[in-house]
Structure 1
Amino acid sequence: MSSADAIDWTNPAKKQTPPEPGPLYEKRKAVHPQRIDGNFRRFKWLVMLITLGIYYITPWIRWDRGPYAPNQAVLVDLANRRFYMFGIEIWPHEFYYVAGMLIMAGIGLFLVTSAVGRAWCGYSCPQTVWTDLFQHVDRFVDGDRNARMRLDAAPWGPSKIAKRGFKWTIYLFISFWTGGAWIMYFADAPTLTVEFWTGQAATVAYATVAILTATTFILGGFLREQVCIYMCPWPRIQTAMLDEKSLIVTYKDWRGERRGSVKKAAKNPEEYGDCIDCNQCVAVCPTGIDIREGAQIGCITCALCIDACDRVMDEIGRPRGLIDYATLEDCKNEAAGGTPKPILTTLLRPRTLIYLGIWGAIGAAMLFSLGVRSHTELTVEQDRNPPFMLMSNGDVRNAYTVRLRNMESRPRDMEITMSGLAGGLMWSDDMAREKAARSLTRTVSADATRIVRIYVVAPAGTASQPFTFTVTSLDEQREQDTTEARFEAPEGTP
């Protein structure tokens, strides 16, 4: 807003005209990051290789669980409602483990952000990883920053059409394999691959690949920094996680200003700072921001501007760190002539230690729970309509639906016993009434739940009362689970 358009608040009598509101969305300006080498760029290469390797390779890793369970190391088996992760198997009733992992992921994100800013956004976010991969494709096909800018400005012709077609084909290839890798987590990867290419896979598999191919192609190829600025909520949430003690990428303006060329600084060294206004920090930024303007929503804390600035400082013989990871507290101290705190002291502060303690406690609790959990479970459901039946000889019968859960990857014999309810006997619908007893033995398939319909009978005159069912695995583990049930009788509850 110009000075002529500004509102004169000192003159209430004058008719005030408020300025026109600005647009909510700014038209995208193409960003062409320049190639850079340095410690942070190498770290981004490492993270990208690790994360992409994990994503594409994990479904193909085998894990022997015996002949009765799938041998894919990581598998979300929706058909059988199981989640396998190496030696861990999660059943539907154990979804709290998944909730625990999600909580750990959230707290871990808080921990990282409070310690080193948006490091997740700068290195590990899927949008960042695939955008970085696509930007390397840009350099491979179109050349570095200046060549890409010239190509963008050039009119459409055979050369530009050929390059665009070749580059977009590579985009599409990467996007297709991204979608294809995703569906491998939900079925046996080798089997699904054959079915997919022979047209035998389920329709949902083809639809999922098509949707993920399109979203990866569009978001990674054409929307890039727009996703970070407009679509992702985390840049707006992160402000609650940061404080003056958080390490963030910072331009040290007290050292860099006033900006000027090397020649100007040589003539008047007292008037100019270390920044020579080379714009290398802007040229390498994947979102196209100028870090010298301060903290802003477009900064993903990838620190490539640090690599660029350090290289320039080396070339002109000035100390590194004009752009650096620093806390606002240390910046004020350093501007006043002090020295910054050691990195370890900055990271190990109460806030980050609390986050780390909560994160570790949840992880330890989940590991302990996994270590001591039983692989044999019993659930009992009593018939409510009718609650009991009178037999011809005066005995009272109740009916129950018993579920025996075998969470081992092998069949097991399980014994069901009842305790309490004096004189009571039980039998199931797959045996004769005359064979009723106080215990039954049934075989439960590997990694399965068996439903047994059980009838419990008690002598005439028995009052309503609680009793218990106990299931015991008849193997070397001898695991047990007990559930209390209630026997209903005509006399009602005494």
Structure 2
Amino acid sequence: MADTATPNSAQDTAQHADEIDETLIEGPLYAKREQLYVQKVDGTFRRIKWAVLVLTLGVYYLLPFVRWDRGPNAPDQAVLIDFPARRFYFFFIEIWPQEIYYLTGLLILAAFVLFLMNAVAGRVWCGYLCPQTVWTDLFLAVERFFEGDRRERIKLYNGGWTGNRVARTSGKHFVWLMIAWWTGGAWVLYFADAPKLVWELATLQAPAVAYIWIGILTFTTYTLAGFMREQVCTYMCPWPRIQAALTDEHALNVTYKVDRGEPRGSLKKAKALREHGVTAGDCIDCNQCVAVCPTGVDIRDGMQLGCVQCGLCIDACDGVMDKIGRPRGLIAYDSEYNLERREAGLPEEKPKIVRARTILYVVLIAGISLFMVWHLAVRSSLDVSALHDRNPVYVLLSDGSIRNAYTVRVANKELEERTFTLSVEGLEGVAMEAVGAENLDPDTLSVTVGPTRTRELRVLLTRTPAPDAPESREIAFVFETADGSEAAVARDHFIQPAR
């Protein structure tokens, strides 16, 4: 019988595997999005999220109207990206196009701050500070104001399109559009004088590009925060996939304590089991943690791509534990390391916030920050550059002398007009002239540059070739203030025919 059963068993197994494979192939590639009805929750993490929302949106919407006096020849908007003047103003800091490396430094700094946040508390950025999260929270609050909390909203949506639903939904979408419109409007205010641009926008006198960008940002904010919500976090955002490769077993993440919560059951069932000395979990399967999740994740299923680590499920679960008389912390910020220790029957350890990974990130953040601050503190208000003509590299004059031509630029970063002297070092017996500059003597030119302006000079250097001179010789264009308090150098080469 064993000989006959074995082939039949193998055939059944193969047939079953084929059925499974066929089922997987025939199944939908993408699941249809289900409407989420997010329930209101109160608690510590919800209050933190409200505070972050008010702070971040307050800064975003109001910062363009903050004034900062820089003097008579500079704009007085505290934060301004001035494309026509090619300047970026941030309170007392002024960044020129040549200083784009500061932006690079900020991006690197932001990356390491994000890595540090991930090493300490997982996707804490996603749960509290991400713009998608902040605006989604605001849109949810508006939705709850017009349509009620979860149960009322489910009842409203399942009741068909009544006059009550039309009125509530219309009010919700109108406020959503106003928030989205002001979000786009606030963004363009960072690129022009805010009060003036607001007046121009209101009187339809603003540039067309301002209306275009307001329209684009209104549409994206309305769509992403109003309709796509959890889909942005789960499918569109790359950070969940990146952070999974950066995290470790000591990072704090929102965690369901399986060892304490299982086996789950109703409150009455758990009470009866405990009365008979049988182990029962603290989880009563109330699904409140799922109801309050903005992405619809069941944290009891473990770490998932859709979980943004906002902690709202912690508030919901703690509230339930208070009502049934069980200790808080069934869902809490915890590490995988402690989860494994509890499963092995070992006691928990304190979170290891200070470890090699976090120390490295803190050192890198501090080092980059200090370097940028130091560089800003010692940077010169005078910037020069020189570019040798490429074709021809030199001109042979009728008297046998050699002439090289250069394009020299000098930038005056001060808020007042300044006069500089230009001289050449590294080359003897050279005559210098420049279009638009005043000749003080054969070796020196006087150049005047307006406040926060750049001036371009066409400089000609002429000298009699020396038989023993090299074909190419390094020279330095030296700009110096009239009082000698500041100087800047641009280096290039003087080229003559080979002998």
Structure-1-length-normalised TM-score: 0.92
What does residue range 26-45 of structure 1 map to in structure 2 within 5 Å? 26-45=31-50
What does residue 331 of structure 1 align with? Answer: 339
Q: CA deviation at 1:59?
A: 1.1
Aligned AA (2:317): C
Secondary structure of 2:139's partner? helix
What does residue 167 of structure 1 align with? Answer: 172
Indicate the RMSD between aligned Cα atoms, in angstroms.
2.1
Show CA shifts across 1:251-275 (max 9, x none).
1111111112222222211242111
What does residue range 52-63 of structure 1 map to in structure 2 within 5 Å? 52-63=57-68
Aligned AA (1:359): I
What does residue 3 of structure 1 align with? Answer: none
Q: For the Cα contact (< 8 Å) 1:175–1:213, is it kept in 2?
A: yes
Q: For the Cα contact (< 8 Å) 2:437–2:447, is it kept in 1?
A: no
Within the alignment, does 1:302 sit opposite 2:310 as a pair? yes
What does residue 374 of structure 2 align with? Answer: 368
Q: CA deviation at 1:348?
A: 1.0
Deviates more, 1:332-341 or 1:163-172: 332-341
Q: For the Cα contact (< 8 Å) 2:438–2:446, is it kept in 1?
A: no
For residues 467 and 328 of structure 1, the distance between their equivalents in structure 2, rounded to whole angstroms, comes to 63
1:423 and 1:35, CA in 2 relative to 1: closer, same or farther beyond 3 A?
same
1:265 and 1:488, CA in 2 relative to 1: closer, same or farther beyond 3 A?
closer
What does residue range 85-234 of structure 1 map to in structure 2 within 5 Å? 85-234=90-239
For residues 449 and 431 of structure 1, the distance between their equivalents in structure 2, rounded to whole angstroms, comes to 14
Secondary structure of 2:100's partner? helix
Aligned AA (2:430): G
What does residue 324 of structure 2 align with? Answer: 316
Instruction: State percent identity of aligned pairs.
Output: 48
Aligned AA (1:473): T
Q: For the Cα contact (< 8 Å) 1:249–1:323, is it kept in 2?
A: yes
Show CA shifts across 1:216-258 (max 9, x none).
1111111111111111111222210122211111111111111
Secondary structure of 2:103's partner? helix
Deviates more, 1:243-252 or 1:387-396: 387-396
What does residue 401 of structure 1 align with? Answer: 407
Q: For the Cα contact (< 8 Å) 2:437–2:445, is it kept in 1?
A: no
Q: CA deviation at 1:11?
A: 4.6
What does residue 298 of structure 2 align with? Answer: 290
For residues 28 and 415 of structure 1, the distance between their equivalents in structure 2, rounded to whole angstroms, comes to 70
What does residue 425 of structure 1 align with? Answer: 431
For residues 245 and 482 of structure 1, the distance between their equivalents in structure 2, rounded to whole angstroms, comes to 52
Aligned AA (1:219): L
Q: CA deviation at 1:189?
A: 0.8
Within the alignment, does 1:388 sit opposite 2:388 as a pair? no
Secondary structure of 2:263's partner? coil
Q: CA deviation at 1:209?
A: 0.3
1:366 and 1:474, CA in 2 relative to 1: closer, same or farther beyond 3 A?
same
1:387 and 1:141, CA in 2 relative to 1: closer, same or farther beyond 3 A?
same
Q: CA deviation at 1:338?
A: 3.7
1:271 and 1:334, CA in 2 relative to 1: closer, same or farther beyond 3 A?
closer
Q: CA deviation at 1:81?
A: 1.7
Q: CA deviation at 1:8?
A: 7.1
Within the alignment, does 1:487 sit opposite 2:489 as a pair? no
Q: CA deviation at 1:432?
A: 8.2
Aligned AA (1:264): K
What does residue 277 of structure 1 align with? Answer: 285
1:76 and 1:10, CA in 2 relative to 1: closer, same or farther beyond 3 A?
farther
Q: For the Cα contact (< 8 Å) 1:472–1:480, is it kept in 2?
A: yes
What does residue range 405-416 of structure 1 map to in structure 2 within 5 Å? 405-416=411-422
Q: CA deviation at 1:391?
A: 4.0
Aligned AA (2:496): A
Secondary structure of 1:273's partner? coil
For residues 315 and 18 of structure 2, the distance between their equivalents in structure 1, rounded to whole angstroms, comes to 49
Aligned AA (1:372): V
Aligned AA (1:484): R
Q: For the Cα contact (< 8 Å) 1:425–1:436, is it kept in 2?
A: no
1:405 and 1:171, CA in 2 relative to 1: closer, same or farther beyond 3 A?
same
- Unaligned stretches of 5+ residues in structure 2: 1-8
Q: CA deviation at 1:98?
A: 0.5
For residues 380 and 318 of structure 1, the distance between their equivalents in structure 2, rounded to whole angstroms, comes to 75
Secondary structure of 1:487's partner? strand
Show CA shifts across 1:255-296 (max 9, x none).
111112222222211242111111111111111111111111
Aligned AA (1:485): D
For residues 68 and 333 of structure 2, the distance between their equivalents in structure 1, rounded to whole angstroms, comes to 42
1:188 and 1:149, CA in 2 relative to 1: closer, same or farther beyond 3 A?
same
- Unaligned stretches of 5+ residues in structure 1: 1-6
Q: CA deviation at 1:436?
A: 5.0
Q: For the Cα contact (< 8 Å) 1:421–1:458, is it kept in 2?
A: no
For residues 152 and 290 of structure 1, the distance between their equivalents in structure 2, rounded to whole angstroms, comes to 23
Aligned AA (1:482): V
Aligned AA (1:174): I
Q: CA deviation at 1:52?
A: 0.5
For residues 436 and 97 of structure 2, the distance between their equivalents in structure 1, rounded to whole angstroms, comes to 28
Q: For the Cα contact (< 8 Å) 1:113–1:238, is it kept in 2?
A: yes
1:356 and 1:172, CA in 2 relative to 1: closer, same or farther beyond 3 A?
same
Q: CA deviation at 1:448?
A: 1.5
Show CA shifts across 1:297-334 (max 9, x none).
11110011111111111111111110111001112223
What does residue 471 of structure 1 align with? Answer: 479
For residues 279 and 288 of structure 2, the distance between their equivalents in structure 1, rounded to whole angstroms, comes to 22
For residues 230 and 384 of structure 1, the distance between their equivalents in structure 2, rounded to whole angstroms, comes to 51
For residues 460 and 101 of structure 2, the distance between their equivalents in structure 1, rounded to whole angstroms, comes to 33
Q: CA deviation at 1:118?
A: 0.7
Structure-2-length-normalised TM-score: 0.92
Deviates more, 1:333-342 or 1:300-309: 333-342
Aligned AA (1:361): G
Q: CA deviation at 1:12?
A: 5.2
For residues 181 and 136 of structure 1, the distance between their equivalents in structure 2, rounded to whole angstroms, comes to 21
